[in-house]
């Protein structure tokens, strides 16, 4: 490791008026939740590939998430998905997580993998199916209580494939009715994250298609409901950072599902396709953290950062570590933005100056900084190399082939 590179970086940033001690502190505090389903076998509609060493159950998924946390120091929680992570005793699962240095994060209901849900869950025309879906949502709140998690993260797969297939307004009402019941079952400290996605598995309409619908629903439900932005869930060319800034200003941004996409909901490793977008998202968040309105600042500070990736061809654990590192890289770059300079340029209508003041931060190599931060945190400076050297990749082979899917 070259200390020279770090000292040079520190000198450059200090001369620009960036407080490196503050930057380091912020990087150390950025917690990124990993998803249990990111450790299981997964695939596309063409093939679910079976890999050797995949966790066979929820407990082993937690073991893998714990490994990611040990090597990065910034992934203290793991999201679970019910029923993929269904266990007899959720207290025991939470206890297991605790022993591994983790806690259980967002509880994700599953309203898409049951035959009954083919034509929708809470938006199904059949009241028996709607009731079943609601019961599952309430079950997930119960699970959250048992694992002592305050977050319910809802993604709704409901939608239709053809015009005329269903009454869209009627489905909107059913959706609200179920979510209102779910909402009223939350403990006061709990948050409900509402995710949106414009297509897939439905191809004509999705009942919660975009951020506007999720935002409206969150407003209707109340303060504990907030919008979740999955970076892979927008049409090509959508200005995601604008959505982020809008939701922050409305104090309705609850969390993220980070991943990368090139064409659709590709679930690729974070930061591999459009790292600049991720940097610009952090630019908006850091800007909101300096807002005059305390509510906006608090919203920005309470964002739940989560990774949502189902890797098809990648080895699971290193792919997750890579994602975490890529998030840290873009966050560190955004922390190098000279906000005084940006605001001055904005006031002067200096278009090129403002763009330059933002972009110049993106162009710094923050790897010396991140190495030093990791050293100070007592985690490996190169988490991926440390993983390969750890013996864990060999150890998990004992699990054999045919582990849990998703």
Strands 191-195, 151-154: parallel, antiparallel or unpaired by DSSP? parallel
Q: How many residues lie near ligand AOS (CB under 6 A)?
A: 10
| Partner that binds at residue 37, options ligand AOS, Zn ion, none, CB closer than 5 to 8 Å by kind | ligand AOS
Q: Which is nearer to ligand AOS, 116 or 382 (CB)?
A: 116
User: At which residue do the structure tokens 């599953």 appear?
Assistant: 110
| Partner that binds at residue 322, options Zn ion, ligand AOS, none, CB closer than 5 to 8 Å by kind | none
Binding to ligand AOS by residue 308, rule CB under 6 A? yes
- CA–CA dist 257, 228 (Å, integer): 7
How distant is the alpha carbon of residue 235 from its chain centre? 18
In the complex, minimum distance from the CB of residue 42 to ligand AOS, in angstroms, rounded to a whole number: 9
- Determine the 3-state secondary structure of 258 from DSSP: strand
- Token representation of residue 194: 């509402």
Pick out residues in 215-274 that bind Zn ion (CB under 5 A). Answer: 230, 257, 265
Q: Which is nearer to ligand AOS, 79 or 369 (CB)?
A: 79
CA distances from 62 to 68, 312, 322 (A): 10, 20, 18
Pick out residues in 80-99 that bind ligand AOS (CB under 6 A). Answer: 81
Q: Which is nearer to ligand AOS, 41 or 195 (CB)?
A: 195
Binding to ligand AOS by residue 33, rule CB under 6 A? no
Binding to ligand AOS by residue 265, rule CB under 6 A? yes
Which residue's C-beta sits nearest to Zn ion? 257
- Judged by CB under 6 A, the residue of 41, 63, 195, 287 near ligand AOS is 195
- CA–CA dist 130, 395 (Å, integer): 44
Q: Which is nearer to Zn ion, 33 or 241 (CB)?
A: 33
What character string, x for contact with ligand AOS (CB under 6 A) and - otherwise, covers 100-119? --------x-----------
- CA–CA dist 330, 278 (Å, integer): 6
- CA–CA dist 127, 117 (Å, integer): 12
What character string, x for contact with ligand AOS (CB under 6 A) and - otherwise, covers 221-240? ---------x----------
| Partner that binds at residue 41, options Zn ion, ligand AOS, none, CB closer than 5 to 8 Å by kind | none
- Judged by CB under 6 A, the residue of 130, 252, 257, 316 near ligand AOS is 257
Q: Is the peptide bond before 360 cis (omega within 30 degrees of 0)?
A: no
- CA–CA dist 342, 103 (Å, integer): 39
Binding to Zn ion by residue 158, rule CB under 5 A? no
Ranges of beta strands (E only) in 248-312 are 253-258, 304-307
- Determine the 3-state secondary structure of 107 from DSSP: strand
Q: Are the C-beta atoms of 198 and 235 separated by less than 8 Å?
A: yes
Strands 151-154, 159-160: parallel, antiparallel or unpaired by DSSP? unpaired
Q: Which is nearer to Zn ion, 217 or 369 (CB)?
A: 217
In the complex, minimum distance from the CB of residue 37 to ligand AOS, in angstroms, rounded to a whole number: 5
**How are strands ordered across the β-sheet holding 253-258?**
34-35, 77-82, 103-109, 151-154, 191-195, 225-230, 253-258, 304-307
| Partner that binds at residue 96, options Zn ion, ligand AOS, none, CB closer than 5 to 8 Å by kind | none
Binding to Zn ion by residue 33, rule CB under 5 A? no
Q: Which is nearer to ligand AOS, 257 or 371 (CB)?
A: 257
Q: Which is nearer to Zn ion, 13 or 151 (CB)?
A: 151
Pick out residues in 307-346 that bind Zn ion (CB under 5 A). Answer: 308
Pick out residues in 39-78 that bind ligand AOS (CB under 6 A). Answer: none
In the complex, minimum distance from the CB of residue 118 to ligand AOS, in angstroms, rounded to a whole number: 17
Nearest to 70 by CA among 397, 396, 390: 390
Q: Which is nearer to ligand AOS, 230 or 287 (CB)?
A: 230
- Judged by CB under 6 A, the residue of 6, 9, 155, 279 near ligand AOS is 155
Report the chain's terminal Cα–Cα distance, integer Å: 37
CA distances from 156 to 16, 221, 287, 293, 313 (A): 46, 16, 31, 32, 26
Residues that bind Zn ion (CB under 5 A): 230, 257, 265, 308
Residue ranges in contact with ligand AOS by CB under 6 A: 37, 81, 108, 155, 195, 197, 230, 257, 265, 308
């Amino acid at each position: 490791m070259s200390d020279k590179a770090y000292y040079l970086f520190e000198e450059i940033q200090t001369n620009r008026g960036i407080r490196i001690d503050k930057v380091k502190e912020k990087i150390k505090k950025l917690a990124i939740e990993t998803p249990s389903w990111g450790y299981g076998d997964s695939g596309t509609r063409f093939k679910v590939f079976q890999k050797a060493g995949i966790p066979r159950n929820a407990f082993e998924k937690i073991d893998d998430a714990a490994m990611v946390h040990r090597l990065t120091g910034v992934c203290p929680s793991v999201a679970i998905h019910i029923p993929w992570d269904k266990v007899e005793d959720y207290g025991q699962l939470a206890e297991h997580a605790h022993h591994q240095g983790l806690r259980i994060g967002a509880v994700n209901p599953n309203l898409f993998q049951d035959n009954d849900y083919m034509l929708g869950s809470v938006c199904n025309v059949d009241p028996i199916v709607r009731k079943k879906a609601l019961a599952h949502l309430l079950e997930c709140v119960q699970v959250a209580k048992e694992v002592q998690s305050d977050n319910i993260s809802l993604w709704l797969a409901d939608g239709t494939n053809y015009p005329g297939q269903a009454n869209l307004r009627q489905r909107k009402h059913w959706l609200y009715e179920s979510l209102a019941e779910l909402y009223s079952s939350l403990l006061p400290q709990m948050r409900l994250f509402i995710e949106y996605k414009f297509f897939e598995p439905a191809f004509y309409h999705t009942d919660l298609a975009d951020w506007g619908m999720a935002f409206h629903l969150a407003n209707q439900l109340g303060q504990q409901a907030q919008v979740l932005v999955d970076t892979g869930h927008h049409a090509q060319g959508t200005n995601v950072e604008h959505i982020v800034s809008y939701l922050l200003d409305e104090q309705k941004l609850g969390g993220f599902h980070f991943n990368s996409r090139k064409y659709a909901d590709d679930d690729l490793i974070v930061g591999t396709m459009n790292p600049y977008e991720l940097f610009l998202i952090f630019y908006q968040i850091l800007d909101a953290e300096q807002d005059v309105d305390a509510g906006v600042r608090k919203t920005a500070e309470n964002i739940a950062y989560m990774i949502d990736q189902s890797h098809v061809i990648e080895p699971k654990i290193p792919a997750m570590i890579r994602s975490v590192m890529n998030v840290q890289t873009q966050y560190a770059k955004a922390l190098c933005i000279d906000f005084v300079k940006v605001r001055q340029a904005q006031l002067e209508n200096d278009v090129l100056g403002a763009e330059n003041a933002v972009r110049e931060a993106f162009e710094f190599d923050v790897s010396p900084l991140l190495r030093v931060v990791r050293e100070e945190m007592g985690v490996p400076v190169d988490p991926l190399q440390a993983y390969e050297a750890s013996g864990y990749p060999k150890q998990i082979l004992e699990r054999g082939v045919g582990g849990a899917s998703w």
